[in-house]
Chain A
């Protein structure tokens, strides 16, 4: 019989190993899934994980996409991971992302057609503020009334989506758009465009911000007392209160920070790759970022790598759709499985497997 035995200390080796193992298991089970869909499994895996980076024909087109997709995922996941560390479950990042986009785009469009260079920085601030505001709703409800932040932040995604539908048909609709829903194109207006910093690299301002966020989070969590307090709150809430940490401040800090980062991600997306506010400009980054956060072990460097990997599955998935006719949903399933396998293998961090006689107790 097999049983689990608690380790005296969390295993360092397994902390690093489980994401690798989870990716490997996902490839195997994903391969079986593709085989069942009558798709050659090895080819599908190669197209998803290899071709976007190294295929001689189109890697030059797909490689920049890697940063374009990874940027918002990393930016959002960094914010989420800090909250998750504290046991604060913001799963409505998608809503904060949308609100950031709406606020940021609205702030810019108010000055149309000015060409001031101040407009783009102002839009970033407005986007961050929009996300912050949206995240403050669950934060304040939790601190004032102990309302469950999981449910509130999630409900607010649906509210934000309704708002998005409303503004893209009303308030922010392009007056020259022949009545079609959707705003003016921000990426084609010089003052508001979120451009590539290095041409052809996919590295736009949002990607740069994501990298800065990684460094910021690393310093915060490992060196600063506030990061220590966040971790302490998550691991032992009672010990945190004993240490003098005020739980409400941690809730506000974590939700506020993740709202700011998600809001900025939304603005960078709408002013760059997406180009305009439209009913469905959001593509679920706010939810995928949850996987990225866990896959990255809630560690900034891990999230950086996980964000790149997840971006790869997006791009590879699109390629596989094009070249093999694989359904788009299979990539979503692929990502879900990745999270599942990671959670399953996580057990080895705190427990070791004992094979031997069964233990009654």
Chain B
């Protein structure tokens, strides 16, 4: 094997690209869970975003329109989860699984005409001076716009939850929906908004997969990314910046194992490709052994306002 073929600059650069889909989905799910809702349908929303984004980008030749359409489509899909769990009080675990199954079916149905096509790509941005810096430039400052959008989104969510009144209300709803209701806050409305936001984020993540990361459409292409996003929220103890760290760590593992495969490491390819999942499990174990600090107290509990 030839480890010298692995270029650290390219490794970090591709790590950021590889982490971005999961980062989008995870930061969205963090907001949903902070509001006290457990949406296990991230995988289904992501893959719906992936195909809708791809289809719209191919049809209009505009990747950005593709992203917008992906966000909208997944957000609308997530509302079905919202209506079921918030108004019809269905079990959140079961409904989330259902959403994933629906999303997988829907996406492969829409996606059939799009197999094997290449999508228009999103240009990398170029900032004078900064992007031209040696090493740091190509590593951090020569990416497409969505990489920076995802980071900005993390900062935005952090600020929103920490400093804004709406963020405080959202956290309060996730902590104790009964107390929030008693104070006159609209629990269901806040949760629906959070679910919608989470859906939009998952859609962006999916579209990033099909438009930038891969970039083409194949059935089932998310391959568990949505589930990993869920694991990263736990890993992050429900804190936005830790979501960023978790996503980048995971992106790093994925890229590294791909690089090792390419470098011809004499070790089963299957073991390398299962490594991200195994490492996710190990991380979950470490986090949970420490105790689930920071989980919203009402997470996953149904709310019915009875007088």
Contacts of B234 in A (CB 8 A): 148, 151
In the complex, chain B residues 249-296 whose Cβ is within 8 Å of any chain A Cβ: 268, 270-271, 273-274, 277-278, 280-281, 284-285, 288-289, 291-292
With contacts A148-B284, A155-B224, A329-B108 known, is A343 near B93, CB below 8 A?
A: no
**Complex Cα spacing A147 to B112, Å:** 38
Apart from A151-B280, A155-B228, A157-B224, 13 more pairs, CB < 8 Å: A147-B285, A155-B278, A287-B101, A291-B101, A327-B108, A329-B108, A329-B112, A330-B109, A332-B105, A335-B101, A346-B90, A351-B89, A361-B307
A145–B97 CB distance below 8 A:
no
Contacts of B9 in A (CB 8 A): none
**Complex Cα spacing A141 to B98, Å:** 25
Tell yes or no: B102 within 8 A of A by CB: yes
Tell me, rounded to whole Å, the shortest Cβ–Cβ distance linking A351 to chain B. Answer: 7
**Complex Cα spacing A328 to B280, Å:** 32
Contacts of B288 in A (CB 8 A): 141, 145-148
Interface residues on B, range: 35 or more
State the majority secondary structure of interface residues on A: helix
Which B residue sits closest to A37, measured CB to CB? Answer: B109
A89–B109 CB distance below 8 A:
no
Tell yes or no: B148 within 8 A of A by CB: no
With contacts A146-B288, A332-B105, A339-B94 known, is A155 near B231, CB below 8 A?
A: yes
With contacts A154-B224, A333-B105 known, is A340 near B281, CB below 8 A?
A: no
Contacts of B80 in A (CB 8 A): 340
With contacts A333-B102, A336-B98 known, is A159 near B284, CB below 8 A?
A: no
Tell yes or no: B95 within 8 A of A by CB: yes
Tell yes or no: B104 within 8 A of A by CB: yes
Among the stretches A42-50, A160-168, A258-266, the one at the interface with B is: A160-168
A330–B105 CB distance below 8 A:
yes
Tell yes or no: A152 within 8 A of B by CB: yes
In the complex, chain B residues 70-107 whose Cβ is within 8 Å of any chain A Cβ: 80, 83-84, 88-91, 93-95, 97-99, 101-107
With contacts A146-B292, A148-B234, A340-B102 known, is A162 near B273, CB below 8 A?
A: yes
Contacts of B103 in A (CB 8 A): 336
B98–A159 CB distance below 8 A:
no
B304–A332 CB distance below 8 A:
no
Contact check: which of B89, B105, B270, B306 meets A334 at CB < 8 Å?
B105
A158–B223 CB distance below 8 A:
yes
**Complex Cα spacing A337 to B84, Å:** 12
Tell yes or no: B40 within 8 A of A by CB: yes
**Complex Cα spacing A331 to B112, Å:** 14
Taken residue by residue from 293 to 307, chain A's Cβ proximity to chain B (1 for < 8 Å, 0 otherwise) reads as 010000000000000
**Complex Cα spacing A42 to B112, Å:** 23
B104–A332 CB distance below 8 A:
yes
A151–B101 CB distance below 8 A:
no
